[in-house]
A and B are shown apart, each in its own frame.
Chain A
């Protein structure tokens, strides 16, 4: 469950859980988060929460809303974003991201059903006057549909009502070292070829082609096309990928080259 931590001058004032679809922030007492300070507008901003995602929207406030130092109109909140309203700071904490969820629950696909379920969902909150009229129904509909999804997964799939947390995909950890090929024979002898791309092809299309793949575990050479297979250190490879070691000599389409790791 995502929450906000309200603070001023590095002093934590309170924690607010984002349990509602719409959490309003403003100076007036009817707001979910009331900040009684003249720098804050009566209806300052709203946070719309759709399952695990939260969106912050400025409601046309006098002094504006700042996230991580940037003034925003609408913002997709990420874990540990800092929202600034005058002297006050609100830190957005989404434990779904920071907490260690069970790996097996990651990204279980679930169905969201519009129609009958949406009708059964609680009516969307009346849009606040300051919300742009176009955005309001869309967000409300999505939120209602999201509520429907919860009902569905609860009753039919028998899973917990909250969607399993999903961490954003991490880029592949690059191999420790960089590597390159140096041509030892042929017209371009002496030339170096850096292996920076995830895939680098070698050889002549239609005659003989091999590919070097850059993986977290290291570099691998694999035969792609042609009747003859690449030769590494005098040994002919088969169709399987072959792990390359520093100073391996590759022969391909009549050209010799040396693989080496760069420091």
Chain B
């Protein structure tokens, strides 16, 4: 199955102004409707190893699986949507790989990574995320944060300890409550969303959203939507102009047209008789 021509994808990643390493990792395959972003953590170069493993495992495994299986079908054994099942299994696989590497190699001890994955199919997308890397949607001029961070700050906001305004001032920005590769088992948060032509989706690491306000992100997506590559570069540049204290990664996906799943003849016949 291919979505060629339905999605436009552009990305940009940058170490920022302070860090010498880029511990973020991004990968995308527009024809398969697949985008992955990870923000690694851990000493020396372990962060890069963790995020690199996560994006590589997930993108290559899903590329293979998508040739054989259709994400919008229901799996006969589990009764789950194939897209969900694939994401669950491959995230678990990536988690095990990172966890085992961290356990067996002392220089990788304690490494981990955040993750956000979006899989587009049948006018929908399935988003899986772990940690504080985010997915935003621009629709009709309005920017909305789709994913909810797994972070101490988000928990504090949810429990009413602090307000979102105070959260921007908080010192505890960098604490995530979930990450890939830290424990033997990790649970990703997975949700489905309908997509519409002209939607723009932004996947980013915290290096962007900590440095650039949502208003400025929204303005950039709106103004530069006709040149996605430039828009991605502009977002990274703005984060750097504001200090660029962390690695900055951005993936932009624009929905160009509808991409309904090709239904089989039998399926169409069945729907006529309903």
Q: Which residues of A contact B (CB under 8 A)?
A: 50-53, 55, 76, 78, 94, 96-97, 103-104, 106-114, 135, 138-139, 142, 145-146, 149, 156-159, 163-166, 168-172, 197-199, 201, 205, 209, 211, 213, 215-217, 222, 224-225
Contact = CB atoms under 8 A, between A and B. Distances in A.
Contacts of A217: 241
- The 5 A-B residue pairs whose C-beta atoms are closest, nearest first, are A52-B171, A156-B110, A138-B159, A225-B226, A157-B110
Contact of B219 (A111, A135, A197): A197
B122 interface: no
A142 B171 CA distance: 15
Contacts of A138: 159-161
Interface in B202-224: 206, 210-211, 216, 219-220, 223-224
15 contacts: A50-B152, A52-B172, A53-B170, A53-B171, A55-B161, A55-B162, A109-B174, A112-B151, A138-B159, A145-B177, A146-B175, A172-B241, A198-B219, A205-B226, A211-B230
Interface stretch (B36-44, B136-144, B257-265): B36-44
Given A53-B162, A199-B219, A215-B241, 11 more contacts: A53-B170, A104-B18, A106-B246, A109-B176, A110-B174, A111-B177, A112-B151, A112-B176, A112-B177, A113-B182, A158-B43
Contacts of A50: 152, 156, 172
Nearest to B181: A111
A198 B238 contact: yes
B161 A172 contact: no
B41 A53 contact: no
A96 B173 CA distance: 14
B175 A110 contact: yes
Contacts of B220: 198-199
B230 A222 contact: yes
A220 B131 CA distance: 36
A159 B18 contact: no
Contacts of B124: none
B69 interface: no
A44 B146 CA distance: 41
Nearest to B171: A52
Contacts of A170: 242-243
B191 interface: no
Contacts of B162: 53, 55, 76
